[in-house]
Structure 1
Amino acid sequence: MGLYDQVKNNIVNVGRIGRSIAGLTMLAAASALVAQTVGDGQQVPGAGLNLPGNPTIFGKLDPNIRKPTAIVNDTVLTGTDVDQRMALIVALNELKLSDEDREVLRAQVVRQLIDETLQIQQAKAKDITIVPAELDQSFNGLSKRRFNQTPDQLRAYLRQVGSSDRSLRRQIEGELAWSRLLRKQVEPFVNVGDEEVAAVIARLEASKGADEYHLREIYLSATPDRAPEVTQAMQKMIEQIRQGAPFEYFARNFSEASTRAVGGDLDWVRINMLPDPLQRAATSMQVGQIAGPIEVPGGYSILYLADKRQVLTADPRDAKLSLRQLFLPFPAGTTEAQAAQRVEAFANATQGIRGCGDATKVAQTLKAEIVDNDAVVIRSLPPALQEMILKLNVGQSTPPFGSPKDGVRVLIMCGRDDPRTAGIPTPQQIQAGLEQERVNLRAQRMLRDLRRDAVIEYR
């Protein structure tokens, strides 16, 4: 059993594995003709498509025509492929989906599997093949690092939730094949000049001490007549996120912003880069807090503050800790009343801990498990734990935390190395970052072209 952050890392964020996969909606226009209506003839922007503002639809789009199975350039995607990938996502993110949400997720999974197939096909066309031995090695490593299980235990878990090791191995194959293709065909041709690196360094020096916010956003457009409907939907999203549903799930499936492909991640931004309503919200938020719906031009936004820092300034959240965890698991079938009693006894026994040596004696008395970690960065912990840890001195412990399902824990601080004044990244680090941005951009363009050239038959 690992520390709390290690436990959280057991969850594989499936959407992030394919970070370069944009969640673009495919348009089914084979059975529907769009014509301009009789009237003022006004056209609306449509990415250069010159679309009419008030079209009349000729024909009917029958949802039964396009079921979630497809043939992608002669590679068959079955209903089982879709169902098993959906089961994997739902189980690992602990999602509670309505029938409508499930259909939205199903459509997204179909798109992901199509992109995955195109990536594997393109890699094979360039003589890049991921052999079974490589898949075995990656699968076995994933089972240990992310799930803290043996490969056989992970296979059993996947079958239990309605998925399979085949589905996960295919996802691994797509990621490895695409990554190797980019290293072969894109990375050698990406260059960053010294002048570009110098310009980045100059901007960092000029903005030293300025606040930066790591934000995630969900944006929905809304006309005045739809505002009540949109805000109500967003309030439901916020409620589910506060109950534990992943923010990224809603961003990927419902957001209309361009960041939907990366789970709504705006990355690090300066406050003056945001619209005024979002500026006011961000500056009043604490790390880990969610705010919204926030009215912005054209619609509404939900904001999540993932982190906050000052440019080139030492941050206490970057301190490296040596922690000892005492963990008391609850037997299967423990009721809430029984859990409350065990928590109270655990709290009474641990509140008098004086240092990590004392914690060992308490753990032996309680028959609690001990886990040590000497390289925990405060910033990597969940926001609620960050606030507690920041107030601790060496030798002090957190209050008990956990749940009837997960058991109860306390963390004791054995040591702390505070960060020194932050320095400017090295030119090599800046160059590597710029190169990676350009590789990602070209990867998106490559995938876009593969989509355009693909022959896809839905069944």
Structure 2
Amino acid sequence: MKLFKRLSFAAVLISATALTPLIAQSTPDSGGNDASLIAPDGQQLFGKNDPNVRRATAQVNGEIITGTDMDHRLALIVAANENKLPPEELARFRAQILTNLIDETLQIQEAAANKIEVTDAEVDQYFDRVAQQNFKRPASQVEKYLTSIGASVATLKRQIKGELSWSRLLSRNVRPSANVSDDEVNAIIERIKATKGTTEYRLGEIYLSATPEAMPAVTENAKKIIDQLRQGANFVAYARQFSEASTASVGGDLGWLSLAQLPSSLATAAAGMNSNEVQAVASPGGISILLLIDKRQVAMSDPRDSVLSLKQIAITFPAGTAEAQIAPLVKRFSEETQQIAGCGVADEMAAKLGADVVNRDGIKIRDLPAPLQQVMLNLQIGQSTPPYGSLQDGVRVFVLCGRDAPEVAASESFDEIMSRLEEERVNKRARIYLRDLRRDAVIEYN
């Protein structure tokens, strides 16, 4: 997916899928002003700043951001984290949401100043697509759902308009100058060939910029975010709201990268991380909160890319059924299904157990939940997995009917590499563009 040509709103309430790799951050200010902050020690503040006074709303070049705007955005985040955010996190999210809304307003205003129009019909079309793809329901039902959690259709459509406006603005004003030569692409292809068999990493990133003076405060903020992530908070939702990199719009997903493509500090951290681990790392211009999503071998076939043909046999339990009643049912289900000898008898066994059968084809091992991946790697054709599930969702086994191993390792094509390099350059310049808009803005807090 190209970041500025197609938008993903999965981060609103569900996890994002694999998306375009992005960037190693460069120094945040490359606009020519290299003067250090003039603030000698031993001087005093004339006046007081009360940290308990929070300015909840603002006017951005005369355009008002209301408390309702912020409440609706916050409701999306609370829902994404299953209503588990503690009060101190809510206060911090409100501050970040206001920052995001200010940036979004600046982006829409700049697009309008450049005579770039995003029509209501285009926004509605994207909203309908989001409703079907991410909420799995018609747009009218999504409207009711958003209202029920304290959000609104308007806030999601505003977000869509902001990203479409910014995307088109960058496509016109920035992308044409982000040229990549054939020699640059060929150099990367040669490097990939030279590193065949080494490890690639799929990473998620929440990037927080920081000047040297602000580094202690930003570090403390990063620690709080990591604490919440380790307690089960949604990484995609946090990246969406907190990350200052352009990958925020895709839930922080950097895609597949070799260590050579990362700044040294991030490369060192990634090399020592385990899957689903998060940690804060000093990176150029700030701090990166990294999530290791997955690993694979460069230009080598990965058994987890094998494509499976499965039969799913599932039993469900009436609401309110006690665990003591369910245990013997699960025990019998397990014993009987382990006797299955091939997919040809799976339907007969399911009928005997009063279970449902669903054929599932084209499933990659790496797309299965982690507990099932290793089981599938070791399973023989015709065998079934141990029972997997929960009291609420039911218990199921998967019978392996077929497995097609990948013959050739997937690798980036010439065009894909060129596109990725162009996106990196566009994203770097986009951060500078937004920085300049912030500097020129007239912002009044209420």
Q: Tell me if TM exceeds 0.5.
A: yes
Per-residue deviation, 1:433? 1.5
Paired position in structure 1 for 2:146: 158
Residue 394 (1) aligns with residue 371 (2): no
Paired position in structure 2 for 1:57: 45
Q: Secondary structure at the match of 2:295?
A: strand
Q: Does the aligned pair in 2 maintain the 1:215–1:303 contact within 8 Å?
A: yes
Please identify, of 87-96 and 251-260, the stretch whose mean Cα deviation from structure 2 is larger.
251-260
Q: Among residues 12, 15, 19, which one is paired with 2:14 in the alignment?
A: 12
Residue 270 (1) aligns with residue 278 (2): no
Per-residue deviation, 1:79? 0.9
Letter in 1 for 2:97: V
Per-residue deviation, 1:102? 0.9
Q: Among residues 86, 106, 120, which one is paired with 2:94 in the alignment?
A: 106
Letter in 2 for 1:434: L
Per-residue deviation, 1:359? 3.4
Q: Does the aligned pair in 2 maintain the 1:130–1:173 contact within 8 Å?
A: yes
**Residue 415 and residue 104 in structure 1: after superposition, are their counterparts in 2 closer, same or farther (change >3 A)?**
same
Q: Which runs of 5+ in 2 are unaligned?
A: 1-9, 23-33, 211-215
Letter in 2 for 1:141: R
CA distance in 1, matches of 2:288, 2:125: 42
CA distance in 1, matches of 2:11, 2:288: 28
**Residue 130 and residue 258 in structure 1: after superposition, are their counterparts in 2 closer, same or farther (change >3 A)?**
closer
Q: Does the aligned pair in 1 maintain the 2:246–2:427 contact within 8 Å?
A: no
Residue 171 (1) aligns with residue 159 (2): yes
**Residue 184 and residue 447 in structure 1: after superposition, are their counterparts in 2 closer, same or farther (change >3 A)?**
same
Paired position in structure 2 for 1:122: 110
Paired position in structure 2 for 1:440: 427
Paired position in structure 2 for 1:34: none
**Residue 370 and residue 171 in structure 1: after superposition, are their counterparts in 2 closer, same or farther (change >3 A)?**
farther
Letter in 1 for 2:445: Y
Q: Secondary structure at the match of 2:399?
A: strand
Higher-RCO chain (CA-CA 8 Å, sequence separation at least 6): 2
Q: Secondary structure at the match of 2:49?
A: coil
TM-score by length of 2: 0.76
Q: Among residues 184, 193, 213, which one is paired with 1:205 in the alignment?
A: 193
Q: Among residues 294, 299, 322, which one is paired with 1:312 in the alignment?
A: 299
Deviations 1:301-321 (Å, cap 9, x if unpaired)? 976431112221221122222
CA distance in 2, matches of 1:133, 1:87: 25
Q: Secondary structure at the match of 2:401?
A: strand
Paired position in structure 1 for 2:62: 74
**Residue 304 and residue 322 in structure 1: after superposition, are their counterparts in 2 closer, same or farther (change >3 A)?**
same
Residue 418 (1) aligns with residue 405 (2): yes
Q: Among residues 388, 393, 404, which one is paired with 1:406 in the alignment?
A: 393
**Residue 154 and residue 59 in structure 1: after superposition, are their counterparts in 2 closer, same or farther (change >3 A)?**
same
Paired position in structure 2 for 1:134: 122
TM-score by length of 1: 0.74
**Residue 218 and residue 167 in structure 1: after superposition, are their counterparts in 2 closer, same or farther (change >3 A)?**
closer
Q: Secondary structure at the match of 1:58?
A: coil
Letter in 2 for 1:114: I
Paired position in structure 2 for 1:456: 443
Q: Does the aligned pair in 2 maintain the 1:321–1:417 contact within 8 Å?
A: yes
Q: Does the aligned pair in 2 maintain the 1:356–1:412 contact within 8 Å?
A: yes
State, as a whole percentage, how many aligned pairs show the same letter: 49
Q: Among residues 184, 200, 212, which one is paired with 2:172 in the alignment?
A: 184
Deviations 1:181-215 (Å, cap 9, x if unpaired)? 33333333332111111111121122122223334
Deviations 1:84-103 (Å, cap 9, x if unpaired)? 11111110232522221111
Q: Does the aligned pair in 1 maintain the 2:206–2:289 contact within 8 Å?
A: yes
Per-residue deviation, 1:112? 1.5
CA distance in 1, matches of 2:244, 2:430: 22
Per-residue deviation, 1:106? 0.8
Residue 92 (1) aligns with residue 80 (2): yes
**Residue 218 and residue 448 in structure 1: after superposition, are their counterparts in 2 closer, same or farther (change >3 A)?**
closer
CA distance in 1, matches of 2:253, 2:196: 23
Letter in 2 for 1:409: R
**Residue 357 and residue 242 in structure 1: after superposition, are their counterparts in 2 closer, same or farther (change >3 A)?**
farther
CA distance in 2, matches of 1:266, 1:311: 16
Deviations 1:310-350 (Å, cap 9, x if unpaired)? 22122112222233434444444455445545544543443
Per-residue deviation, 1:363? 4.2
CA distance in 1, matches of 2:300, 2:369: 22
**Number of equivalences:** 416
CA distance in 2, matches of 1:276, 1:114: 31
Letter in 2 for 1:194: D
Match runs of 1:282-301 below 5 Å: 286-288=274-276, 290=277
Q: Among residues 419, 423, 431, which one is paired with 2:418 in the alignment?
A: 431
Deviations 1:401-448 (Å, cap 9, x if unpaired)? 233343333333332221224265332222111112222222222222
Per-residue deviation, 1:239? 6.6
Per-residue deviation, 1:367? 5.1
**Residue 373 and residue 364 in structure 1: after superposition, are their counterparts in 2 closer, same or farther (change >3 A)?**
same
Letter in 2 for 1:105: F
Letter in 2 for 1:448: R
Q: Does the aligned pair in 1 maintain the 2:11–2:236 contact within 8 Å?
A: no
Paired position in structure 1 for 2:362: 375
**Residue 423 and residue 165 in structure 1: after superposition, are their counterparts in 2 closer, same or farther (change >3 A)?**
closer
